[in-house]
Amino acid sequence: MNDKAFQWSLTITTILVSIWLIAGIVFYYYVPFILVLLSAIVVEMGVAIVLLYYWGKDYMGRRI
C-alpha cells in the first residue's frame, strides 16, 4: 500500500465515521448516542490498525 492510498483510506474512513456521529445525533431518539459513539471509536480504531498494519508491512519491505 503506497502512502497516498493509506492517506486517502484513513481520510475517507474518518469522514464516514463523522457522518455516522452526525446521524447518531440527529436520530438520538432511536439509538442512544453512547452506542453510536462507542461504535464509531471501535470502527475508526479497527480500520486504522488494519491500514497501519498493511502500510507498515509495505513500508518495511521497500528497499532504500
Tens-place pLDDT, residues 16-49:
999 999 998 888 888 888 899 999 999 999 999 9
pTM: 0.79
Work out the widest C-alpha separation in the chain, in whole angstroms: 55
1 — pLDDT class (breaks 50, 70, 90): confident
**b vs e for 16-50, b when ≥16 Cβ sit within 10 Å of the residue's Cβ?**
ebeeebeebeeeeeeeeeeebeeebeeebeebeee
Report the residue count for the chain: 64
